Structure formats: C-alpha cells, structure tokens
C-alpha cells in the first residue's frame, strides 16, 4: 500500500489531474480556454463559438458556428412538463438557481449513468442541460416576480435570448456587453464547483447529478454568490470619500471585502480588467463612475492599512456593475454567472467521465483514539 501524502488544507496548489480544457496562471494574471487567451475570445467570439471550443476542442468555422448555434437554440426550449413544474413551485422567495436544481433533476429523472453511455451520448446530454439553464433561470426570475414565462426563441443567439427571456427586451448593445461577461466566466480552472462536478462524475454517475454537485458548490457566497454582495458593498459605501473609513472598519472586524482579492491571482484579475474596460467605454453612468472611484480608494486604503498586501478588484466587482447596466437586477447576478459556468462544468464533467477513474482521497483522523473490541 502506498504511504499517505499530506497536502495543504483546501488542496491549495495541489495538482489532482490533467486537463486540456484550460488553466489559470495566477502570477501572470492570465487564463485560457484550450490554447486561446480567454479574454481575447470574450472580445472577438460569440458565446456559442466558445461553447463549441469547450465541447469540441476547436473554434468553429462559419458553417460549424451556424450549425452549433441552431443546435443549442433548439435545446433551449423547455418541455411543457418543466414549465408547469416551475409555475407550481416558484414563489417570490425561490431563488432562480434553486429552481434550476429542481428543473435539472426533473429533466434528468430518467438519465442513465455516464458510465453506461457512449462519448457521443454523454456529449448530447451535457449539451442539452447546459442549453436549458438560461431558459430555466429566466423563467424562475419572472415567475418569482409574478410575471409569466417568456418562451425561448431557438432562432435567437444564446445571450440575446437569455436577456430577452429575463427582462423582456434585448438591446443589441446590452447583448454585446453581456456576452463579453458570459464568455469571460465560462470556465476558470479547478475551482470548487468544477472540482465538485468532476468528483460526482468520477463515480460514473449521471450528468444531471454531476451538474447538481457543481451547482451546489457554486451557490456558496465564497464562490458564485459574490457579484451581488460586491455591488451591495458599493451601496453601503455610498460616496467614494467614505471608502477608507469603510475599509478600515471591515479590516478591524476581520471581514472579507467582497469583490477584492482572489484565491489564485497575485496581480490584477484579467476578467475584472476586461469588464472594467467594457463598462467604462459603454456606460457613462453614476454607478460606473462611482465604481471606478471606489475601486481606486479601496486599493489605496488596503495598501495603507496592510502594507505589502496587494488586493485588486476581482471579476465579481465589475460583474455586478455590468449586469446592472444591461438591466439585470442583483438577484440575477449569480444566476447569470451560473448560466455561463454550466458550460465549463459540462466540459469538465465529460473530460472526467472519459478518464474512467473515481476520485478517492483520504482524510487524516484527528479524533479520540478508537476503542478496539468491547
């Protein structure tokens, strides 16, 4: 038997598998999907094109792009059974991602284990559930507000259809800005939710259970739940002149400054830099001006109060600003993040299923000495 290996808490910097999907290089402030700079893809390609890259391993040509967009457009349409279920279970206090859990479980109730499927069947299943996410999230949001569901339009782009189903309109400029955000957040290395999804998939379980495992981890405030909290911090601060006192109070109380710092990046978060570029170039609004001023004040205050500890804005800080500008309310920030990230989860789940080996670490027991016998 091999001797156990003790690793850092939280598996920090521990390599647990090989992947061809992408990587995050924290010291460089860089991340990529396959062999492509992720932020450059967000500037130049559609959400569907990058989704194709994640699924098939290459960027599509014009014909492949059109065919893929048509395919996922058709898969975006919810069954009548699921729509009726949402109408019955969604109330004002039901979160859209909680509704997504119910919908995925319902749609996948007869799903066979990944272990028993061919690679082609696994790919079809993964595509189907990732395609359903924006429709479910938008429907749940509207139902919680007392509005009826807006049906998916298979001929629309993924981003435009999501924004239309959620808000009732899809201004082209808003769609373009939102698409940049969605592409930016499709995948981001072996984060907690991606790893959770892969753990479930490693057992040979079905695709929906694997996605639900990822979704469960994603719902935590320390992971996907931060964009709304970052924008709430802006509201709490108010005028930029209040920032330093606010930061001082947070640090004294030992509280996390939402929207700043990252577990991997040791320099500027490239996603935050891109989203800041988008909002400052497209929106000359009080919110954007306040966000940029407060960002600068927070960085300065942290540097003054904790010399040598560099904390920069992360993706959640400007994600909330961008989504607010395109017409999405705070309760839709994390669900919108999930609409993008489910594509990355699906790609990782498929890669893990192809590996065919269960993830089985061990824990170090630190409790009382066990009693043997009677």
- How does pLDDT run across 320-356, given as a tens digit for each residue? 999 999 999 999 999 999 999 999 999 999 999 999 9
Q: How far apart, in Å, are the Cα atoms of 313 and each of 168, 244, 275?
A: 31, 15, 11
* H or E element, residue 69: helix 62-75
pLDDT, average across residues 296-305: 87
Q: Can you spell out the DSSP letters for 308-361?
A: T----B-HHHHHHHHHHHTT--GGGHHHHHHHHHHHHHHHHHHHHHHH------
Query: What domains are there in the chain, each with its CATH number?
Result: 35-172+186-221+331-355 (1.10.580.10), 226-325 (1.10.230.10)
Question: Which active-site residues does the annotation give?
Answer: 262, 316
pLDDT for 305 equals: 82
pLDDT, average across residues 304-315: 82
Q: Can you spell out the DSSP letters for 292-319?
A: HHHHHHHHHHHHHHSTT----B-HHHHH
- The answer to whether 178 and 170 are in contact (CB under 8 A) is no
- How does pLDDT run across 135-164, given as a tens digit for each residue? 999 999 999 999 999 999 999 999 999 999
3-state secondary structure of 260: strand
| pTM, entire model | 0.93
**Percent of the chain scored above 90 by pLDDT?**
77
pLDDT for 293 equals: 94
pLDDT for 8 equals: 84
- How does pLDDT run across 80-101, given as a tens digit for each residue? 999 999 999 999 999 999 999 9
- CA 113: distance to chain centroid? 25
Q: Which residue, chain included where needed, has tokens 């379980």?
A: 205
Spatial separation of the C-alpha atoms in residues 160 and 244, rounded to whole Å: 39
227 pLDDT above the threshold of 70: no
259 pLDDT above the threshold of 90: no
- The answer to whether 230 and 320 are in contact (CB under 8 A) is yes
């Amino acid at each position: 038997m091999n001797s156990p290996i003790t690793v850092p808490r939280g598996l920090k910097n521990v390599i647990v598998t090989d992947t061809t999907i992408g990587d995050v290089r924290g010291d460089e402030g860089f991340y990529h999907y396959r062999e492509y700079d992720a932020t450059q893809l967000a500037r130049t390609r559609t959400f569907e094109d990058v989704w194709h890259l994640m699924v098939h391993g290459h960027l599509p040509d014009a014909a492949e792009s059109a065919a893929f967009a048509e395919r996922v457009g058709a898969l975006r349409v919810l069954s009548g059974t699921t729509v009726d279920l949402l109408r019955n279970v969604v109330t004002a206090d039901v979160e859209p991602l909680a509704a997504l859990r119910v919908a995925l479980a319902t749609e996948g109730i007869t799903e066979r284990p990944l272990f028993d499927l061919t690679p082609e069947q696994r790919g079809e299943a993964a595509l189907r559930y990732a395609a359903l996410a924006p429709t479910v999230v938008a429907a749940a949001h509207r139902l919680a507000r007392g509005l009826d569901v807006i049906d998916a339009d298979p001929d629309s782009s993924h981003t435009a259809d999501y924004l239309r189903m959620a808000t009732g309109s899809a201004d082209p400029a808003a769609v373009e800005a939102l698409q940049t955000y969605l592409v930016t957040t499709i995948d981001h290395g072996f984060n907690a939710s991606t790893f959770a999804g892969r753990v479930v998939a490693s057992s040979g379980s079905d695709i929906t259970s694997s996605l639900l495992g990822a979704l469960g981890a994603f719902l935590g405030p320390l992971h996907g739940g931060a964009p709304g909290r970052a924008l709430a911090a802006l509201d709490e601060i108010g005028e930029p002149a209040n920032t330093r006192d606010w930061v001082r109070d947070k640090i004294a109380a030992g509280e996390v400054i939402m929207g700043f710092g990252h577990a991997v990046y040791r320099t500027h978060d490239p996603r935050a830099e891109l989203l800041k570029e988008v909002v400052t170039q497209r929106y000359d609004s009080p919110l954007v001006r306040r966000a940029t001023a407060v960002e600068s004040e927070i960085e300065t205050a942290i540097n003054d109060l904790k010399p040598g500890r560099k904390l920069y804005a992360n993706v959640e800080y400007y994600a909330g600003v961008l989504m607010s500008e395109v017409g999405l309310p705070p309760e839709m920030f994390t669900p919108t993040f999930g609409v993008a990230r489910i594509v990355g989860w699906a790609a990782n789940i498929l890669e893990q299923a192809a590996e065919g080996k269960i993830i089985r670490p061990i824990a170090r027991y630190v409790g009382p000495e066990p009693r043997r016998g009677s």
